[in-house]
Amino acid sequence: MQMTLSKKERRQDQILEALDRNPAMRVSELADTLNVSSETIRRDLTHLDATGRINRTYGGAVRGQVSEPHLAERLSHHIAARQAIARKAIDLVQDAETIFVGGGATTLHFARALRSTTRRLTVLTPAHRVASELSENANIQIMCLPGLFDGKEGLVTGPETLAAIQRFHIPIAFMGASGVDSGGVSEAMLGPSEVYRAMIECSQTVYILADQSKFDCRSLKYITGWTEGIHLVTDANPGADLLNKLKTGGAKVHLSGDV
């Protein structure tokens, strides 16, 4: 399930990747790296600065700091909303299914809700805390993906993780989000964003679990746009612009309050 980015969005992602490798770069260096004009780079830097993803400097830019709190802190936020979203997501899981489950606070609530299911499932995940929660259920077979472990986020990333994901074609994925806006679903951290994008590309249907605090927010990198097969599970109706984009792309909204 491939995401289509505009030429401008791809170029801005390349700027962010260049700044990840070298956190301070001049306009001329970025222009040479991307083989575009300095004026184009200046416009891109202005946009990236306005959205908080870089800081402009005289003649260049430095990488902005990602504001996403660590997992332990996020778990204390919006608990009731996330638990309701998790319960709604459980209804979307069928017996004898194989599913991807991403990392993050809302997907951990999902795993906690799923551990009492009587359904027979196989779960593939890069998140060790998700695996730990599900390990209490004998009906669930767990496959932990390999990779470099990030203790603060409790998940693995890197080339080994991506290579393992690409071996599979999974019917359903359940993912969290740092931001949800009309452009798509975004993630605050580069390593996890690559893992989540790969999981989405290897899945037939994707459910994004995100409470309303994520609406109209764009974080570091998009992991998917709103296309057919991408659905939102949330606790409130999105605003008109976002809802229209979802409907235009063929995405569906599942509200946690709906029976």
Question: What domains can you pick out in the chain, each with its CATH number?
Answer: 7-63 (1.10.10.10), 71-255 (3.40.50.1360)
What are the start-end ranges of the H helices in 59-189? Answer: 71-74, 79-90, 105-114, 128-134, 159-165
Cross-strand pairs, 182: none
**Average pLDDT rounded to a whole number, residues 81-106:** 96
**How far apart (Å, rounded) are the C-alpha atoms in residues 30 and 145?**
35
Q: Model's pTM, two decimal places?
A: 0.76
**How far apart (Å, rounded) are the C-alpha atoms in residues 1 and 170?**
11
Classified as helix, coil or strand, 42 is helix
Task: Say if residue 146's pLDDT is above 60.
Answer: yes
- Residue 152's pLDDT band (boundaries 50, 70, 90)? confident
- How many Cα atoms within 13 Å fall on the side-chain side of residue 32? 6
Within a 10 A sphere around the Cβ of 7, how many other Cβ atoms?
Answer: 7
Q: Are 42 and 36 in contact (CB under 8 A)?
A: no
**What pLDDT sits at residue 67?**
53
Q: What are residue 43's phi and psi, to 5 degrees?
A: -65, -40
Closest CA relative to residue 63, chosen from 33, 18, 30, 32: 18
Q: Are 15 and 44 in contact (CB under 8 A)?
A: yes
**How far apart (Å, rounded) are the C-alpha atoms in residues 103 and 114?**
14
**How far apart (Å, rounded) are the C-alpha atoms in residues 40 and 31?**
8
The string of pLDDT tens digits covering residues 20-32 is 777 778 899 999 9
Which residues are CB-contacts of 170 (< 8 A; sequence separation ≥ 6)? Answer: 98, 99, 100, 124, 199, 202, 203, 204
* Residue percentage of the chain with pLDDT more than 90: 64
The string of pLDDT tens digits covering residues 159-180 is 999 999 999 999 999 999 999 9
